[in-house]
Amino acid sequence: MSEHETPFIRKYIFSEDHKVIGIQFLFVSLLFMIVGGLLAMLVRWKLGFPDQPVPLGTHLPFLAENEGHIGDDVYNMAFSMHGSVMIFLAIIPILAGAFGNFLIPLMIGARDMAFPKLNMLSFWIGVPGGILMASSFFVEGGAAQTGWTSYPPLAAVEAYTGVGTGQNLWIISVLFLGTASIMGAVNYITTIVNMRAPGMYFFRMPLTIWALFITAVLQLMATPVLASALGMLLFDRTLGTHFFAPTGGGQVLLWQHLFWFYSHPAVYIMILPSMGFVSDILATFARKPIFGYKAMAFSIMGIAGLGFIVWGHHMFQSGMNPALGTAFMASTMVIALPSAIKTFNWLGTLWRGQIHYTPAMMNAMAFVSTFVIGGLSGIFMASTPVDIFIHDTYFIVAHIHYVLFGGTLFGIFAAINYWFPKMFGRMLNQTVNTIHFVLTFIFFNLTFFPMHILGMGGHMRRISDPNLYEFLKPWQPWNEFISINAFLLGATQLLFIANFFWSLFKGKKADRNPWRANTLEWVATSPAPHGNWGDQVPTVYRGPYEFSVPGVAEDYLPQSSPATVPGHAPAGAAARA
Amino acid sequence: MHWFPEGVSTYSGTVDGLFKLILIVTGVAFVLTEVLLFVFAWIYRRREGRRATYTHGNNTLELIWTIVPAVFLVFLAFASARGWKAIKGSVPMTDEVVTVTGAQFSWEFRYRGADGAFDTPDDVVINDELRLPVGKPVKIRLRSKDVIHSLFLPNFRLKQDAVPGVTIEVWVEPTKTGTYEIACAELCGFGHTTMRGTLFVLSAEEYGAWLAEAQAAVAPPAEPTAGAPGATETPQQAPPA
């Protein structure tokens, strides 16, 4: 713990401190989130105003030679890279990389990760992944144009898209990012299993930790499958193998099976951590124990387990045997159950609470509200016959954004609002972030809800100009409406960015426990030093959600508080005796 | 519900019916959860002198909100399985067959020529225009020349990926004559958006007459590039809407 003499480069660049690494992940993934968001703006410009050049487009690469208009190939590039950047470089690294790193040791009472060097390596293997993905825009032929799913043969043969190096860089970049994920996952699992503070039994862990733990298991088990598929695709492109090429006896659908065997669990990698954050934040600001703690923990495991046997629901119309479709439909219907259980338990947590409306709480409640929509719309796609019609339409686009923006991103906003004081020792401006929340919630819904209706109208996704189709022409005003709201949604984020950086330097100083919360990270100083705890690692005496305990004067009772409560069972573990 | 494109196949009603059924079930769940959320948000807002109720949960409630959704989900699963089996389970016996081949960026529709066999020089081959008879099941043999495409006939509620290397069979029975649109639903390259076709559902007589004429036009010279004359121009016989 001799950080007095740690040189700058070891303290902030090649750091082994989990908190610094977490913050590194946070900054990099927020940067890529801005990139991904700008790409989305391009996509929405094309759909909302297909005949008009992009403002200032004549000064932009790819658009300049086309007088500021977005060509069909550039459009394909924009949505492909929007999805790829958001998923691989923003959402997964911010959840697992930033919050996983920052929170796991602090919340279980460890001094650091089990393997600090591996942790550092995980970040620094992710960085070239990001650089490769970003640089693919500037090579000849531009970046990948095959969607974030990169289905072969489109993605396997250069002649089909005209994109050579860009697609190769995409594959290599995702390989790097996958490796970083696996390294992180190994570390998180080992740390949580082995390094919990005295008294931190598994069923005393905060749900954030449960969620990050199960997420790490998913990453460890699923990502190698993606890596193998990416390797085969790269070989098909560069070495002349035929894993996915029918001309050489390859199987086109093999890619989809392997890709979705990873990417469906990846959907849960992208939502479970947010579910964990939201559970902790709801309990803290409702000043109430989480409702049904064990049901919540087991439903996380249920989602993760079932998540491995539902991948085929992305392939109902792929030509896969229809009987297999029925099996995947059944498992997909079942996976809706744990999500329903979680939703009802969140509502139960709010019931008869004392709700404090901070920006963190509002974002967490928005998560519940929009996740309900994203979860329920999934049932439409699970139904095989309905999926025939809505598959590859805007109904799917609406669904994925209700889960990944409405769910995950509101969870991330909640988490940043909640843990910012612990990360940086300063408070975010609450007023600005309240305004940011209200506007984001409104524009988010106005952007994405109408997409369900477009999908019901049969509006295909990934088409650049719906006006070519008679049956889609009547939807043009809707597309314009959606685009305007998307721009406003994008602009609203400037508030958040400005507040983030302003508060970083000028925000009010935070004390150790500004939210009067129970979990261990609030025992450490804000920000916590390298090693987290000073001389003594905290001891855990109770569960994480002992709020408003009868007989206790305060409305919270930290996990590390040795106080005994008269006439009350100590553990917060049991759902109810 | 006028949100959907008009349904004109024997199973379009099945698809739309299931959609509406799910909409009702999920609609009830949606209203219930959102109303509870907003009501709780209002009545349990922070007020001085109150304390939150200390409870860790209730097992009876957990059971109820596990079993009730489970029952609905099982019900929806069975309803979906029935519809799926009827639509994609098996292709009905029919002598009306079209071979559809997706290629960057057009659809090729191939009918048997006068010899009654596919893949012979007298096949009737037309790009981007599909003609089908009303009231008769049609088997569609779906292929792809290059990348994955997806044959999407919105009014039929038919969507099926065309996968290179395999032939996939689907079927449809149109129920109403008219002119409709064909789209590609799977990203297939920079011309994906333009991979549009037109579907004409004709009466049995019109269809028979058209096919006979097209076959006659192809038969004698048997050129490899054979296509029905005028087939790719704007349709001469605008069918009754």
Each residue of A227-257: pLDDT tens digit?
999 999 999 999 999 999 998 889 999 999 9
In a domain, B240, yes or no: no
The last residue of one of the domains, among B70, B89, B108, is B89
Based on the fold, state whether residues B106 and B127 are members of the same structural domain: yes
Based on the fold, state whether residues B151 and B170 are members of the same structural domain: yes
CB nearest B154 (choices: A154, A458, A465): A458
Residue A265 has pLDDT above 70, yes or no: yes
In a domain, B230, yes or no: no
Based on the fold, state whether residues B187 and B113 are members of the same structural domain: yes
Residue B228 has pLDDT above 70, yes or no: no
Residue B204: closest CA among B233, B225, B173 = B173
pLDDT (0 to 100) of residue A576: 39
Tens of pLDDT, residue by residue over B110-125, are 999 988 899 899 999 9
Prediction ipTM score: 0.93
Tens of pLDDT, residue by residue over B100-110, are 999 999 999 99
Residue B224 has pLDDT above 80, yes or no: no
Q: Are B22 and A380 in contact (CB under 8 A)?
A: yes
pTM higher than the cut 0.90: yes
Residue A501 φ/ψ, nearest 5 degrees:
-75, -35
In a domain, B112, yes or no: yes
The last residue of one of the domains, among B89, B115, B141, is B89
Q: Which residues of chain B have a CB within 8 Å of the CB of A330?
A: 77, 81
- Domain tally, chain B: 2
Based on the fold, state whether residues B162 and B108 are members of the same structural domain: yes
> By CA distance, what is A157's nearest residue in B?
B147
CATH numbers and ranges of domains, chain A = 17-249 (1.20.210.10), 271-510 (1.20.210.10)
Smallest CA–CA distance, residue B111 to chain A, in Å, is 22
Mean of the pLDDT values across residues B73-99? 94
pLDDT (0 to 100) of residue B227: 46
B128 at the A interface (CB within 8 A)?
Answer: no
Based on the fold, state whether residues B151 and B38 are members of the same structural domain: no
Confidence band for B1, pLDDT divided at 50, 70 and 90: very low
The last residue of one of the domains, among B43, B61, B89, is B89
Which positions 130-169 of B are in contact with A (Cβ < 8 Å)?
A: 146-148, 150, 152, 154, 157-161, 163-166, 168
Based on the fold, state whether residues B39 and B66 are members of the same structural domain: yes
Is B15–A388 a contact, with Cβ atoms under 8 angstroms apart? Answer: yes
> By CA distance, what is B191's nearest residue in A?
A72
Is B56–A291 a contact, with Cβ atoms under 8 angstroms apart? Answer: yes
Smallest CA–CA distance, residue B113 to chain A, in Å, is 28
Q: Which residues of chain A have a CB within 8 Å of the CB of B25?
A: 379
Confidence band for B49, pLDDT divided at 50, 70 and 90: confident
Tens of pLDDT, residue by residue over A202-218, are 999 999 999 999 999 99
Based on the fold, state whether residues B24 and B122 are members of the same structural domain: no
Determine the structural domain holding residue B146 and report its residue range: 97-218
In a domain, B175, yes or no: yes
pLDDT (0 to 100) of residue B58: 95
Q: Are A81 and A75 in contact (CB under 8 A)?
A: no
Tokens of A111: 């001094």
pLDDT (0 to 100) of residue B219: 65
Residue A462 has pLDDT above 90, yes or no: yes
Residue A459 has pLDDT above 60, yes or no: yes
Q: Which residues of chain A have a CB within 8 Å of the CB of B85?
A: 322, 326
CB nearest B76 (choices: A161, A333, A377): A333
B50 at the A interface (CB within 8 A)?
Answer: yes
Is B5–A457 a contact, with Cβ atoms under 8 angstroms apart? Answer: yes
Q: Which residues of chain A have a CB within 8 Å of the CB of B32?
A: none
In a domain, B45, yes or no: yes
Based on the fold, state whether residues B137 and B81 are members of the same structural domain: no
CATH number for B66: 1.10.287.90
The pLDDT mean for chain B works out to: 90
Based on the fold, state whether residues B46 and B101 are members of the same structural domain: no
CB nearest B193 (choices: A72, A384, A548): A72
> How many residues are listed for chain A in this entry?
577
Is A252–B154 a contact, with Cβ atoms under 8 angstroms apart? Answer: no
CA A283, chain centre distance (Å)? 21
In a domain, B3, yes or no: no
Is B22–A456 a contact, with Cβ atoms under 8 angstroms apart? Answer: no
Residue listed under structure tokens 């596990």:
B66
Please list, in sequence order, all residues whose beta carbon lies within 8 angstroms of the beta carbon of residue A249, skipping any fewer than 6 positions away. Answer: A242
In a domain, B228, yes or no: no
Beta strands in chain B (DSSP E): 97-103, 106-111, 124-127, 129-133, 138-144, 149-153, 158-162, 168-172, 178-184, 197-202
Residue B129 has pLDDT above 80, yes or no: yes
Mean of the pLDDT values across residues A446-460? 97
CATH number for B141: 2.60.40.420
Size of interface A-B (CB pairs under 8 A): 290
Based on the fold, state whether residues B79 and B101 are members of the same structural domain: no
Based on the fold, state whether residues B114 and B64 are members of the same structural domain: no
Residue A62 has pLDDT above 60, yes or no: yes
Q: Which residues of chain B have a CB within 8 Å of the CB of A293?
A: 56-57
Based on the fold, state whether residues B145 and B204 are members of the same structural domain: yes
DSSP code string of B91-156? PPP-S-EEEEEEETTEEEEEE--TTS-SSSTT-EEEESEEEEETTS-EEEEEEESSS-EEEEEGGG
pLDDT (0 to 100) of residue A85: 97
Which of B62, B144, B179 should we substitute to test contact with A (largest number of A Cβ atoms within 10 Å)? Answer: B62
Residue A358 has pLDDT above 90, yes or no: yes
Is B19–A251 a contact, with Cβ atoms under 8 angstroms apart? Answer: no
pLDDT (0 to 100) of residue A564: 79
Q: A3-12, A173-182, A342-351: lowest mean pLDDT where?
A: A3-12
Mean of the pLDDT values across residues B11-39? 97
3-state SS assignment for residue B200: strand
Confidence band for A12, pLDDT divided at 50, 70 and 90: confident
Q: Are B72 and B25 in contact (CB under 8 A)?
A: yes
In a domain, B159, yes or no: yes
The pLDDT mean for chain A works out to: 94
Is B146–A145 a contact, with Cβ atoms under 8 angstroms apart? Answer: no
